[in-house]
Amino acid sequence: MKKLLKTDKIESIRHSLAHILAMAVLKKFPQAKLGVGPVIENGFYYDFLLKGQGTSDMGQGTTVEINLKDIEKEMRSMLKQNLDFKREKLTTAKVKKIFKEQPFKLDLIKEFAKEKKEITAYHTFSDKGKDTIDKEFKNPVTCHMSHVACFFDLCRGGHVSNTSEINPDAFKLTKISGAYWKGEQKNPQLTRIYGVAFETKEELKKYLWQQEESLKRDHRILGEKLKLFTFAEKVGPGLPLWLPKGTIIREEIENRAKKVEKDWGYERVATPHIAKEELYKMSGHIPYYAESMFPPMKLDDGNYYLKAMNCPHTHMIYKSEPRSYRDLPIRYAEYGTVYRYELSGTLAGLLRTRGFTQNDAHIYCREDQVEEEFLKVMKLHEFWYKNVFSITDFYMRLSLPTKNKDKFANIPEGWEKSVEILRSTMKKSGLPFIEAEGEAAFYGPKVDFQIKSVIGREETASTNQLDFLATKRFNLTYTDNDGKEKPVYVIHRAPLGSHERFIAFLIEHYAGEFPFWLAPVQTTVLTVTDRANSYAEEIVKTLKNKEIRVSYDQRNETIGKKIREAELQKIPYIIIIGDREMESKTISVRQHKKGDLGKMALEDFLKLADK
């Protein structure tokens, strides 16, 4: 048997567990009608119609109480029987005979016949059940006699060869829901049982922890609790309003980005929020991208659009003067706000909005500079994720066009050359990457950086493109050393994506406990008694002079209550000032989640905070 790759192996495990789930349900409900049982992200499910005895039509099932723990227990018992999986090709006649009392399987067979698909099935059986495979036993789909365990189901595969390859402690049934057959309301509603599965018990434990944590870390809930952003009905859905604390996070990231980009050779530019229709016709956004743009505004000199992308504006800056080969590469960076018409049902807090501000830049370079420039872009991403935000789980996705040419610029030689350059550069980067069809931009292939938080949530943090269409549409050229005009290559890059999506990711990644440099309030000063107010104000003043973001709580409340409230706001450091601190000219310091750090001089605290 061919050795499976890790991704193949876990899919085979999950697929096999779906069959074992069906076996366990059929043992408890022998008259159940089987739907489908595919692999899904992190697990599997199986659909059943649970009915009374002797019914074989596709009517609704009766209400049946299902105990997931009992079914799990039965599944584990079956796994320990070392059941084998065996594939078999079937004729339509034979499969109709075998599944004559399984209406949903017969429905699938009709589809297979129309599409002329090969029909295959898998046996699951014990050693004692081998003799039953080619015989007509009482229930041809499943049998659970005292000496036999066997199951037969339509399936493309793949599966493990034997249940001994599945860790019985590395799966869990998670929930039950309703699901219409084929997803259509006119069809019967089935009972869907979901499960998750991994290769090891540790992976399962981590996944369950991540799921539990994800509820606590939802950026929409934390954003409200920490007073970072809000939405207003009269402003409109998908248009976030940044509160003072959230604005601090935005500006800290932007300020650091400006410094980093300056060090990496970028120049800053700024472009307007609207432009004439002619610009977007030239860029190709109309017609390729018009459905994602807001409707035009009719002015006295023609139609204007809110910009959906910064690039057409930046191209006009490049075109504002003649360029020589000596000028290249030119790297223009901008935190530019763009607007996209997203359907209201797709909006999701800060993760999907109608207005957002991008960490955007456009690099104009010669052909001989493309690989080096794109490699620098990839290394800049790595710098941000690993060095600045401690995000270690990320990979690149090379997004390619589909065969439907209507959605992509029809320039075959441009696509071929661009894809070749990107593949070569991605390999040289040493960073992990995959390829995906259908995700390219209309003007060229793109490289998406996918990042994962500590709770396993994956987001597209950044999209970067190699654009061969812009140079044609905008006539972007430079004068080479031979005096001839040559087209430039354009690289679009945005390592931090948009403020909105990236900050939503960070909120969940850090659980709202931002690193000191990014925390909206870095420390708070709490007084124990009014007598300490004068000394506390001196401390606050010194901290502000050192450009530390500090709040001051001198309310007439107990110190315990003040500390609890500061902890709930996830402030990195709490400074407590009472009579003893005032007398000794020291401060008492608490660190979020770590507790009391003891008394220290203010100078020592400043050194601690600077680490």
User: Quick check: is 213 in a domain?
Assistant: no
Same domain as 110, residue 242: no
Cα distances from 455 to residues 38, 43, 147, 459, in angstroms, run 25, 17, 44, 12
User: Quick check: is 254 in a domain?
Assistant: yes
Question: Per-residue pLDDT averaged across 552-561, rounded?
Answer: 94
Q: Say how far residue 234 (Cα) sits from the centre of its chain.
A: 30
| Residue 499 labelled as part of a binding site | no
Same domain as 59, residue 131: yes
CATH number (domain holding residue 105): 3.30.980.10
User: Quick check: is 210 in a domain?
Assistant: no
- Specify the pLDDT at position 38: 93
Same domain as 436, residue 556: no
Reported pTM: 0.78
Same domain as 327, residue 252: yes
Same domain as 398, residue 350: yes
Same domain as 320, residue 366: yes
Domain membership of residue 17 as a residue range: 6-203
User: Quick check: is 320 in a domain?
Assistant: yes
Number of domains making up the chain: 3
User: Quick check: is 106 in a domain?
Assistant: yes
- Judged against a pLDDT cut of 50, whether residue 4 lies above it is answered with no
Distant-in-sequence, close-in-space partners of 199: CB < 8 Å, separation ≥ 6: 6, 9, 10, 13, 167, 170
- Specify the pLDDT at position 136: 41
Q: Among 169, 203, 237, where does a domain finish?
A: 203
| Residue 155 labelled as part of a binding site | no
- Judged against a pLDDT cut of 80, whether residue 432 lies above it is answered with yes
CATH number (domain holding residue 549): 3.40.50.800
User: Quick check: is 155 in a domain?
Assistant: yes
Q: Among 175, 203, 231, where does a domain finish?
A: 203
Same domain as 449, residue 316: yes
Distant-in-sequence, close-in-space partners of 112: CB < 8 Å, separation ≥ 6: 92, 118, 119
| Residue 492 labelled as part of a binding site | yes
Same domain as 478, residue 449: yes
Q: How confident is the model at residue 600 (pLDDT cuts 50, 70, 90)?
A: very high
Per DSSP, the three-state class of 321 is coil
Same domain as 236, residue 170: no
Calculate what percentage of the chain has a pLDDT beyond 70: 89
Give per-residue pLDDT as tens, 371-413.
Answer: 999 999 999 999 999 999 999 999 999 877 655 555 545 555 6
Same domain as 272, residue 178: no
Q: Among 481, 509, 537, where does a domain finish?
A: 509
Same domain as 324, residue 175: no
Token pair of 521, please? 């309030």
When comparing pLDDT for 75 and 156, which is higher? 75
Report the Cα–Cα distance between both ends of the chain, in Å, rounded.
Answer: 54
Q: Which helix (H) or strand (E) holds 127?
A: none
Same domain as 345, residue 285: yes
User: Quick check: is 215 in a domain?
Assistant: no
User: Quick check: is 532 in a domain?
Assistant: yes
Catalytic residue list: 311, 340, 358, 360, 362, 446, 492
Give per-residue pLDDT as tens, 158-213.
Answer: 899 999 999 999 999 999 999 999 999 999 999 999 999 999 999 999 999 998 88
CATH number (domain holding residue 409): 3.30.930.10
- Specify the pLDDT at position 213: 87
Averaged pLDDT score across all residues of the chain:
88
Give per-residue pLDDT as tens, 457-481.
Answer: 888 899 888 887 788 899 999 999 9
